[in-house]
Amino acid sequence: MKKVDTKIIYNAKDAAPLPEELFAAVKNGELAVIPTETVYGLAANGLDENAVANIFAAKGRPSDNPLILHISDIAMWETLVTNIPNNARRLAEKFWPGPLTIILPKSEIVPLKSSGGLSTVAVRMPMHPIAQKIIKATSLPLAAPSANISGKPSPTKLEHCISDMMGKVSYIVDGGDCALGVESTVIDMSGETAVILRPGSISPEQIAEVIGEVIVDEAVLSPLSNGDAPLSPGMKYMHYSPNAQVYIVKGSLEAFSSYLKDVSAEGSYAMVFDGEEEAVPLPSVSYGGKENYSSQANRLFASLRKLDKPEIKYIYVRSPAKDGIGLAVYNRLIRAAGFNIINLEV
Ligand code: TXA
Ligand code: MG
């Protein structure tokens, strides 16, 4: 890829108007990293094949992994899909703007490059005011995957975006730390039954309250068996990983600490819950309160990035719970761990 001169727009408090040049660049097919309430996105015109191709190149993303189109109003959604079933509309009414992505059959204007060759398209209306302003000002549905290099933890802070995207995009727009910290819940509404393909801050329980039945896809919690085609292409790739080998450890804090006493390999670190640092025999980083799932979601990726250093070879992580937003945290961590789980439960 040709090296680009990246401009950073410092605007963490959303206090200043965004420059017209930014909107012009996006309309012109250029790339911009933008803040959303979930994670930072690597945005470009989702209807422009060349712009979309540049997103894939900047991330090093496999071309069969489809993108999410970000919209600012329902009228824009109607142009991107063939039909909006009632249940999809009810979910949008309840959770948009916000961290929910809805998959439906795509209309002709959505290029196959954006949808990774699929006949469906994923759409979400973000809540972050800066994301909304950019979509409104350009009147374009913006394709925006998480703004990390493919395979790395998603960026939740400006510094993560600078480290992954400097020299690859025209603009990086600062919007402060992301409020939620894990990517949106992705739900497929294109079939008879609604299926959650990726858990996020909006839980299966909350979705069931609005539409009744919803299934959580098996691939959310388990590795795909060889030869299985995933419903969500993103599920088949290694994800969210620092350089170190990550292990999820299930069981009590006592069992965790006593197991780690026998771990002597150099470069071993632990990721624990708040207040547990002193109880473990390895250097550690905490990633949230044990019962506070939102705080875990909020700090997960930044904690994994903190431990992404050449001298760190092994990371042992206290396992999160699997209910509510905990499911989203667990889903990201088992992928970071390549499904390596140490079970100390009795
Ligand atoms: O919160 C978010 O969703 C963030 C922010 C920037 O909006 N975006 C994000 O995009 O996480 P990305 O590209 O990193 O993840 C999109 C996921 C991938 O796992 C992809 O495979 C899946 O959604 N996906 C997208 N379109 C799909 C489709 N038509 N069918 C099935 N899965 C789809
Ligand atoms: Mg991603």
pLDDT at 243: 87
What SS3 string covers the chain? Answer: CCCCCCEEECCCCCCCCCCHHHHHHHHCCCCEEECCCCCCEEEEECCCHHHHHHHHHHHCCCCCCCCEEECCCHHHHHHHECCCCHHHHHHHHHHCCCCEEEEEEECCCCCCCCCCCCCEEEEECCCCHHHHHHHHHHCCCEECCECCCCCCCCCCCHHHHHHHHCCCCCEEECCCCCCCCCCCEEEECCCCCCEEEECCCCCHHHHHHHHCCCEECHHHCCCCCCCCCCCCHHHHCCCCCCCCEEEEEECCHHHHHHHHHCCCCCCEEEEECCCCHHHCCCCEEECCCCCCHHHHHHHHHHHHHHCCCCCCCEEEEECCCCCCCHHHHHHHHHHHCCCCEEECCC
pLDDT at 1: 75
Nearest CA to ligand 1 atom 10: 145
Q: Which atom of ligand 1 is nearest to the CA of 61?
A: 13
pLDDT at 156: 98
Q: Is the pLDDT of residue 342 over 80?
A: yes
- Determine the average pLDDT of the residues in 96-113: 98
Place of tokens 């497929």: 188
Distance of CA 145 from the midpoint of ligand 2 (Å): 6
Confidence of residue 236 (pLDDT cuts 50, 70, 90): low
- Omega before 141 cis (within 30°)? no
Q: What is the mean pLDDT of the chain?
A: 95
**Residue percentage of the chain with pLDDT more than 90:** 90
pLDDT at 235: 64
Distance of CA 269 from the midpoint of ligand 1 (Å): 31
What does the pLDDT look like over 153-212, one tens digit per residue? 999 999 999 999 999 999 999 999 999 999 999 999 999 999 999 999 999 999 999 999
pLDDT at 196: 98
Nearest CA to ligand 1 atom 32: 232
Confidence of residue 237 (pLDDT cuts 50, 70, 90): low
What does the pLDDT look like over 281-290, one tens digit per residue? 999 999 999 9
Distance of CA 208 from the midpoint of ligand 1 (Å): 21
- What is the CB < 6 Å shell around ligand 1? 36, 38-39, 41, 65-68, 99, 101, 103, 115, 118, 120-122, 124, 126, 144-146, 183-184, 186, 197-198, 232-234
Distance of CA 344 from the midpoint of ligand 1 (Å): 33
Confidence of residue 233 (pLDDT cuts 50, 70, 90): confident
What does the pLDDT look like over 247-290, one tens digit per residue? 999 999 999 999 999 887 899 999 999 999 999 999 999 999 99
Asked if 343 and 252 count as a contact pair (C-beta separation under 8 A), the reply is: no
- Determine the average pLDDT of the residues in 99-112: 98
What does the pLDDT look like over 127-147, one tens digit per residue? 999 999 999 999 999 999 999
What does the pLDDT look like over 146-169, one tens digit per residue? 999 999 999 999 999 999 999 999
Nearest CA to ligand 1 atom 6: 41
Confidence of residue 223 (pLDDT cuts 50, 70, 90): confident
Q: Which atom of ligand 1 is nearest to the CA of 40?
A: 6
- Around ion ligand 2, residues with a beta carbon closer than 5 Å are 146
- Cα 273 from Cα 63, distance rounded (Å): 37
